[in-house]
Amino acid sequence: INAPILDAGRDQHSRVHTRPNPGFLERLGETMGGMLVGVCLFIFSFYVLFTNEGRAIRTATSLDEGLSQVLSLHPDMYLDPQNNNRLVHLSSPLRTSQPLYEPNYKVAVQAVKLKRNVEMYQWVEYQESRDYKENGETKTETTYTYNTEWKSELISSRHFDQEIGHINPSAMAVESVTVVAPEVWVGRFSLSKGLIDQVNNFQTLQLGGLPATDPFLTVYEDHFYHTANPRRPEVGDVRVSFSYAGLSGEGSWPGPAQTVSVVAMQKGDGLTAFRTRAGDTLEMLYMEELTAEEVFAKEHQMNVMKTWALRAGGWFLMFLGISLTTRIIYTLVDWVPVLRELVSVGLKVFALCVSCSLSLLTIAVGWLFYRPLLAGLISALALVPILIARSRAANKKYQ
């Protein structure tokens, strides 16, 4: 049963959906479906944890190998053929042959990338739901609120709960696009596509008092508006802004060339990816002046952060998988008020202890072939949650 409730004071309405409370068999069926998902998450967590350790060790080994071989070059140094296929490092300003030009808006910037950002004024639907029980039934009240906002993506109003009065255009008059310089140099070397892709320090282009040559355009707050009144837009109006990354001009507007630091393999007059004996590729670019040691230190730091993030993600997947798998026990006793609360707490503690132990054991196995002593220490730590749980259970039994 759907019953709409209108709110005359705001552009929103509520809809109440009523359904009978699920029976025991229905709840049991839902729990069985959750068990299948839990088993999949549990298995996948082992894959995430185990492969993450191998990746972390391989990356750290590759970085140490690269640091031991890297050769720092002076940016004005001539191309030495003896350095071919060697890992090199240099810091120098970016350089491109000509500015990037946007003919429709008469914008030109000498940079590695120029991005045209397009937004359209559209209706946006927000939903907020709450469940409650009344007269032996479960009711879900969903409140729909409609606002008009500038959005870069096209929002389809056909899926709105109330499309009448909230219709968006079916397409944008202008599309967002990013233009990339065909050739980019650092010192005397041209950069590979992989290095150019790492130039992503986008900054908004300040239009200032730039006049609009098109009579249908209005410049306001660093945007080109396809409307005469940008302060009072209507649904369907479009505005365009520009951003750039990697300035490469010599003292030209809007600023000097950006100095970057690159670590890659010299191949002729180009810089490309270097493959290590460990199996990784080294192709690094930072948007600042750094020594070779500082570049590799930053890469090591990123590797550590990524490793711990994946460890936390793998543990959470395992905890969630165990919780979903053991949920059936709670379903079997959820008709007893006091017992279901005790079972719920017990299952959460069980999932926490088992997921912590198994996560540590999986990490230990990942390190086993590289650092056996550390793997043994981690394995010992993995037993701590289980021992604590057993000791607490023994104390409760004695009491």
Q: Are 58 and 280 in contact (CB under 8 A)?
A: yes
- 249 and 334 share one domain: no
**Domain boundary residue, one of 290, 321, 348:** 290
Report the pLDDT value the prediction gives residue 378, as an integer from 0 to 100. Answer: 61
Q: Answer yes or no: do 103 and 205 share one domain.
A: yes
Q: With H, G, I as helix, E, B as strand and everything else as coil, classify residue 291.
A: coil
The per-residue pLDDT for 63 is 96
**CA proximity to 259, closest of 292, 289, 284, 285:** 289
Say which residue, 379 or 33, is predicted with more confidence. Answer: 33
Give 33-63 pLDDT, tens digit per residue: 778 888 999 999 999 999 998 899 899 999 9
Residue 225 lies in a domain: yes
Q: Does residue 169 belong to any structural domain of this protein?
A: yes
Q: Are residues 246 and 116 in the same domain?
A: yes
Contact between 52 and 307 (Cβ < 8 Å): yes
227 occurs within a structural domain = yes
pLDDT of residue 9: 43
Dist. CA 53–CA 35, nearest whole Å? 28
Does 147 map to a domain? no
Does a structural domain hold residue 8? no
- Whether 211 and 237 map to the same domain: the answer is yes
Task: Give the model's confidence band at 213: pLDDT under 50 very low, under 70 low, under 90 confident, else very high.
Answer: low
The structural domain count of the chain equals 2
340 is a domain residue: yes
The structure tokens listed for 114 are 């120029």
pLDDT in tens, 320-360: 998 888 877 766 666 666 676 777 788 888 888 888 888 88
Last residue of a domain, one of 290, 314, 332: 290
Quote the DSSP letter at residue 169.
Answer: P
pLDDT digits (tens, 9 = 90+) for 62-116: 999 999 999 999 887 778 888 899 999 999 999 998 999 988 888 889 999 999 9
Do 167 and 269 reside in the same domain of the chain? yes
| 256 shares a domain with 392 | no
pTM: 0.79
Same domain, yes or no: 319 and 359: yes
Whether residue 376 is found in the same domain as residue 258: no
- Closest to 384 (Cα-Cα) out of 354, 364, 363: 354
- Domain assignment of residue 117, given as a range: 77-122+154-290
Which of 246, 263, 290 is the last residue before a domain boundary?
Answer: 290
How far apart CA 285 and CA 302 sit, in angstroms, is 14
* 229 and 357 housed in the same domain: no
Write phi, then psi, for 397 (nearest 5 degrees): -65, -40
Report residue 367's pLDDT band, with 50, 70 and 90 as the boundaries. Answer: confident
d(CA 133, CA 136): 7
Task: Count other C-beta atoms under 10 Å from residue 195's C-beta.
Answer: 23
Residue 55: exposure state from Cβ atoms within 10 A (0-12, 13-18, ≥19) = middle
**Residue 55 included in any domain:** yes
Q: Supply the pLDDT for residue 214.
A: 67
Cβ proximity of 118 and 174 under 8 Å = yes
Interval 146-167: pLDDT, tens: 999 999 999 999 989 898 989 9
Torsion of CA 304, 307, 308, 314, to 10 degrees: 180
* Average pLDDT estimate for 203-215: 72
**Which amino acid belongs to residue 26?**
E
The mean pLDDT of the chain is 84
Asked if 223 and 340 sit in the same domain, the reply is no
pLDDT band of residue 119 (cuts 50, 70, 90) is very high
Q: Look-up: residue for tokens 């070397």? A: 189
1 band by pLDDT with thresholds 50, 70 and 90: very low
**Model confidence pLDDT, tens digit, residues 281-316:** 999 999 999 999 999 999 999 999 999 999 999 999
Alpha carbon distance, N-terminus to C-terminus of the chain: 53
Strand partners, 160: none
Token pair belonging to 294 = 């500082």
Across 35-110, the runs of DSSP E, i.e. the strands, are 71-72, 87-96, 100-102, 107-109
> Are residues 314 and 389 both part of a single domain?
yes
CA distance 274 to 88: 10
Q: Is the pLDDT of residue 18 over 90?
A: no
pLDDT on residue 132: 77
pLDDT at 335: 60
pLDDT computed for residue 349 by the predictor = 86
Is residue 143 in some structural domain?
A: no
Q: Are residues 85 and 28 in the same domain?
A: no
CA distances from 178 to 34, 117, 243 (A): 43, 9, 9
Provide the pLDDT for residue 46: 93
Rounded Cα distance between 212 and 381, Å, is 67
Question: What's the rounded Cα separation, in Å, for the pair 50 and 366?
Answer: 5
